[in-house]
Chain A
């Protein structure tokens, strides 16, 4: 066929073959940064003084965490779990809303680190370390709520199947127990994955260390890494296996969190759409949080060449996509409630949305959720919005708020209008509720700031693999393109010359 095609072409003396149009991949590291520049820039964050803005975020966050989480929980433990706003009919209230909110945040980290790794999405390398850190800190914040919600936190070990003199054995039929296993597995695997991925970079910081304390601390953390061929082989295999191990977790953790609701017989909770809806929502909310953190971070530490507009564009597209999935789930839930003709199911949704129902005390929360989660991401269909950092940041903040309201709508509006009208109540969060939640936000930010201060926030080794010069076959490729008389184009349609390495 090929020869036939060439013969039908009008023969020109100066052109041996037809001109190829090659669409080049967008570069993930801008301005032809060298290997040394990348190492310097990322290790430099750990080695140099922190900018003033870092202190302005860290100190208030740490104070809020100490007062909110430290003080709030001390008061709660010394007084009793009744200081939260929960009551007999709204037994879950804010603590579980906050738990599901924080657990959801973490999902982007696992998705980026595991699924995008297995599918060879090279753009993950600039953001995976920070996203994994975010996952771990979010799970720490999440874990606080159910642990203290059990009432007597010192009895929380009853959740673990340990043979004991009380002959207490866990109820394996309960999704709440599955949740304990799902979340603790998630935390453990994420932590190991995060740490293993960091070892070569920690060794870089160790090797650059100028004082003994740093040499010692990073020396211990880098586990004797020397960067030999054998070590890299083992490392890469371990990383691949861990990626495969944590891939199911992206789907399983929030699926099981959704089972806390879906396996109950409560109208408004007992729906089969919950698992995919929760997973989509978690990835949606997680990416919004990654953007919320990374846009200021790249500015603060001058990482624009590593975390480029391409990265932000990709994440914005994922938010638009998962936002549509979440919107579909909301509407489908509503449609099935009406179409299913189950009067209890419809009553729950009527009271949630205020459709044909006067008694809808939480309709404001429902429409707040709809606006933030379904309407706000639609801006990302427009390229200009994905390129404007203020718009991206604004939408990400709206999504953060919207995802908290989603959990609020699911938990509070449902429990406030359950089977017995005698139980119907309006939920008021107590000051301790608010303190603990705001405290966890402070804790999350403070931990993230400490992460930026002490650990390499971008995967130095992996980022270097995405450089054009890291491709060992690049010369052959360029040569072949030249032979073929190829003309390179960028995504925007602009013709460019030979790529620089």
Chain B
């Protein structure tokens, strides 16, 4: 039987290799960009049943995070406030008849919960404790971003495992004095100067974090069992 392959088939392997390389590179790069938490999670901003503005409440009125998320220092879970918390102010004082607050008033009367949509969700195989972080000088802002500037809350950080480990390996990048944990606008520049070798010195975040890490003996787990128990 005569040869059935045309001359051009000599170049077929090269063409196939080039095709596979291009497709492979496209899929790899595409997945790296579109398939990882930096893209799939960051920016998630669902419509909530009530257009609650953290910007007004925290940024402008200066409420503390813990007024509403009151369990954060004691519990592994940082609670979403019940509507009773809202009604502390909105029952007999401010905006008592605002139509935007109607679902809150309804829920308050029927004693039912308001179905807020969860934005930051931790997988069930991850052990995460809010109190352990907040009480060790890790601020809300490190994981949730500048909520005090958000009109409508969105997912600011990617919350991937690599992202967790970044801080667990270098906690000095994020540690701050305990009393500043809920002060989202705080930076190391706001910290008063410290006497170093007889000189008043403004510490950088790394220097301050390092100091706090040593003082409090912060030693975050980096082994599997730290979070996957």
Contacts and interface: CB of A to CB of B under 8 A. Distances in A.
A166 B162 contact: yes
Contact of A212 (B4, B13, B36, B158): B4
Interface of A: 164-168, 209-212, 215-216, 219, 223-224
B5 A164 contact: no
Contacts of B163: 165
Contacts of B166: 167
Contact of B36 (A165, A215, A216): A165
A164 B162 contact: yes
Contact of A209 (B1, B37, B160): B1
- Secondary structure of the B side of the interface? helix
A224 B9 CA distance: 9
A170 to B, nearest CB: 13
- Sort chain B's interface into a size bin: 10 to 19
A210 B2 CA distance: 10
Interface in B93-115: none
A165 B160 CA distance: 6
A371 to B, nearest CB: 44
A223 B16 CA distance: 13
A166 B224 CA distance: 11
A211 B5 CA distance: 14
A167 B165 contact: yes
Contact of A210 (B1, B160, B161): B1
B41 to A, nearest CB: 10
Contact of B5 (A165, A168, A224): A224
A47 to B, nearest CB: 13
B146 interface: no
Nearest to B222: A167
Nearest to A164: B162
A336 B38 CA distance: 57
23 contacts: A164-B162, A165-B38, A165-B158, A165-B160, A165-B162, A165-B163, A166-B160, A166-B161, A166-B162, A167-B160, A167-B161, A167-B162, A167-B166, A168-B161, A209-B1, A212-B1, A212-B4, A215-B1, A216-B4, A219-B3, A219-B5, A224-B9, A224-B10
Contacts of A216: 4
Contacts of B13: 223
A309 B153 CA distance: 81
A165 B161 contact: yes
B4 A165 contact: no
Contacts of B9: 224
Contacts of B37: 165
B40 to A, nearest CB: 9
Given A209-B1, A215-B4, 19 more contacts: A165-B37, A165-B38, A165-B158, A165-B161, A165-B162, A165-B163, A166-B160, A166-B162, A167-B160, A167-B161, A167-B162, A167-B165, A167-B166, A168-B161, A210-B1, A211-B1, A219-B3, A224-B5, A224-B10
